């Protein structure tokens, strides 16, 4: 069985100029916008007391994003916030003036008209963009990579978007969508992958993701846990991971939790960059085949990478079995613990934590992470069963790898 690979962060630090993007003020602006949606409600924080005791930890908490806006995933937080920032700029208003009521009003249609929002996705981001565009009276065009499942395609199409599955990987879909946006009147690329010359919209997306972290930290305080000692967060391009890490660094300063960034082994560009350790960004190419479809991204977000290199403690590269085990553990909890229906890209943190705490193979990693009976661990289950057929194949039938599903 393939092993978890890990490396302590020794990447040379930069001036940390991107950290301000995830300041408390910026995140609160995004959260106020999300709260203006009639579909908004805080997603639950699952406190797994029995599991914490079983693993020899003080607390294990999982932010369950399967309840977000009825879309079964957190991604809509980013796409919707990028849209409102773009629209606000065009109508020369502050984002605070552009709540849901205004964005769906005849006045906005008269002032702004209609844009076409382009994006590439494995499923969740595209569905979020399509949903937000539909709700706000805009248009969306979504490109999906080779191997995307029909259920995720159908969910996007149901929101009224024009959606296609391309015969290329995710990173190439990004390039195609960007080219299409450039060639379309009122076309706008809404992608959480940042590159030189394309950072404003990805920064807005990351700020939108901040709503999730802000809610989680408030919920931890409300139940008397307070600051987590450890945060495990998964990464595709690194926008989510950079957003979570940036928020934590701004909120807790020098007392920031130990953060571990987890990737699918088939697409571990951040781990490879940390392993190189010289400050260069490493790309992973090929088909990027993994059950963790939402993490199958081989080219890091430059904004997220800058935040992570300055603040993250460890990077880990995880085989598919890690996520599969996490899905089963969350789906069949110990008596008294709440159930979390967590999809392939949402459960890797749980599988990683269990392996580190229970498998002697990872004793050195456990010591390095300083995980013990005083540790309070926070994780983010970023999606539910967004592909029900695959979910059942893994949780019910015991499948472990992409080729088995």
Mean pLDDT within 42-67: 98
- Reported as a single tens digit per residue, the pLDDT across 284-330 is 998 899 999 999 999 999 999 999 999 999 999 999 999 999 999 99
- Reported as a single tens digit per residue, the pLDDT across 73-90 is 999 999 999 999 999 999
Tokens of 293: 């479809």
Domain boundary among the residues 150, 180, 195 is at 195
CATH number of the domain where residue 160 is located: 3.40.50.1100
Tokens of 100: 């849901």
Domain boundary among the residues 146, 177, 195 is at 195
**Same domain for 161 and 238?**
no
pLDDT confidence tier of residue 405, bands split at 50, 70 and 90? low
**Same domain for 165 and 135?**
yes
**Same domain for 341 and 245?**
yes
Q: What is the spatial distance between Cα 283 and Cα 300, in angstroms, rounded to a whole number?
A: 7
**Same domain for 333 and 209?**
yes
**Same domain for 54 and 126?**
no
**Same domain for 216 and 339?**
yes
Instruction: Report pLDDT for 403.
Output: 62
**Same domain for 237 and 327?**
yes
Tell me which of 29, 75, 135, 399 is the catalytic residue.
Answer: 75
- Count of structural domains, the chain: 2
Q: Is residue 401 scored above 80 in pLDDT? A: no
Active site residue 122: yes
Sign of CA dihedral 377, 241, 122, 113: positive
**Same domain for 254 and 311?**
yes
Q: What is the spatial distance between Cα 43 and Cα 246, in angstroms, rounded to a whole number?
A: 21
Percentage of residues in the chain having pLDDT higher than 70: 99
Mean pLDDT within 208-230: 98
Q: pTM for the full model?
A: 0.96
**Same domain for 263 and 353?**
yes
Mean pLDDT within 14-19: 98
Q: Which domain does 277 fall in, by range?
A: 5-74+201-404
Longest CA–CA span in the chain (Å) reads 64
Domain boundary among the residues 172, 195, 218 is at 195
Q: Is residue 359 scored above 80 in pLDDT? A: yes
Tell me which of 64, 122, 192, 337 is the catalytic residue.
Answer: 122
Q: What is the mean pLDDT of the chain?
A: 96
**Same domain for 211 and 267?**
yes
The separation between CA 367 and the C-alpha centre of its own chain, rounded to angstroms, equals 27
φ, ψ of residue 259 in degrees (nearest 5): -110, 135
Instruction: Report pLDDT for 196.
Output: 87
Q: What is the spatial distance between Cα 346 and Cα 164, in angstroms, rounded to a whole number?
A: 24
**Same domain for 237 and 176?**
no
**Same domain for 162 and 261?**
no
Instruction: Report pLDDT for 402.
Output: 62
Active site residue 182: no
């Amino acid at each position: 069985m393939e092993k978890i690979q890990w490396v302590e962060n020794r990447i040379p630090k930069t001036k940390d100029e991107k950290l301000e993007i995830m300041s408390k003020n910026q995140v609160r602006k995004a959260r106020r916008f999300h709260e203006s949606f009639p579909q908004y409600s805080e997603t639950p924080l699952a406190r797994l007391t029995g599991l914490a005791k079983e693993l020899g930890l003080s607390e294990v908490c999982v932010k369950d994003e399967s309840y977000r806006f009825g879309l079964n995933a957190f991604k809509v937080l980013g796409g919707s916030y990028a849209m409102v920032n773009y629209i606000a700029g065009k109508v020369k208003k502050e984002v605070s003036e552009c709540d849901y009521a205004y964005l769906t009003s005849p006045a906005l249609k008269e002032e702004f008209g209609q844009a076409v929002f382009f994006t590439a996705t494995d499923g969740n981001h595209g569905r979020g963009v399509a949903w937000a565009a539909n709700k706000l009276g805009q248009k969306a065009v979504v490109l999906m990579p080779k191997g995307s499942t029909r259920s995720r395609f159908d969910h996007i199409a149901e929101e009224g978007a024009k959606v296609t599955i391309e015969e290329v990987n995710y990173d190439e879909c990004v390039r195609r969508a960007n080219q299409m946006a450039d060639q379309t009147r009122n076309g706008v690329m809404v992608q959480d992958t940042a590159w030189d010359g394309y950072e404003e919209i990805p920064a807005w997306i990351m700020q939108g993701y901040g709503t999730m972290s802000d809610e989680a930290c408030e919920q931890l305080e409300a139940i008397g846990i307070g600051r987590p000692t450890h945060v495990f967060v998964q990464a595709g391009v690194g926008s989510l991971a950079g957003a979570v890490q940036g928020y934590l660094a701004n909120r807790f300063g020098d007392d920031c939790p130990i953060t571990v960034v987890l990737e699918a082994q088939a697409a571990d560009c951040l781990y490879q960059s940390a392993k190189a350790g010289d400050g260069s960004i490493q790309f992973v190419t090929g088909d990027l085949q993994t059950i963790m479809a939402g993490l199958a991204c081989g080219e890091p977000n430059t904004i997220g990478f800058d935040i992570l290199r300055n603040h993250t403690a460890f990077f880990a590269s995880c085989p598919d079995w890690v996520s599969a085990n996490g899905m089963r553990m969350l789906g069949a909890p110990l008596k008294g613990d709440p159930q979390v229906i967590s999809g392939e890209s949402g459960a890797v943190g749980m599988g990683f934590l269990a392996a580190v705490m229970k498998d002697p193979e990872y004793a050195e990693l456990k010591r390095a992470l300083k995980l013990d009976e005083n540790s309070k661990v926070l994780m983010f289950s970023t999606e539910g069963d967004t592909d029900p057929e695959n979910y059942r194949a893994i949780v019910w039938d015991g499948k472990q790898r992409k080729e088995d599903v």
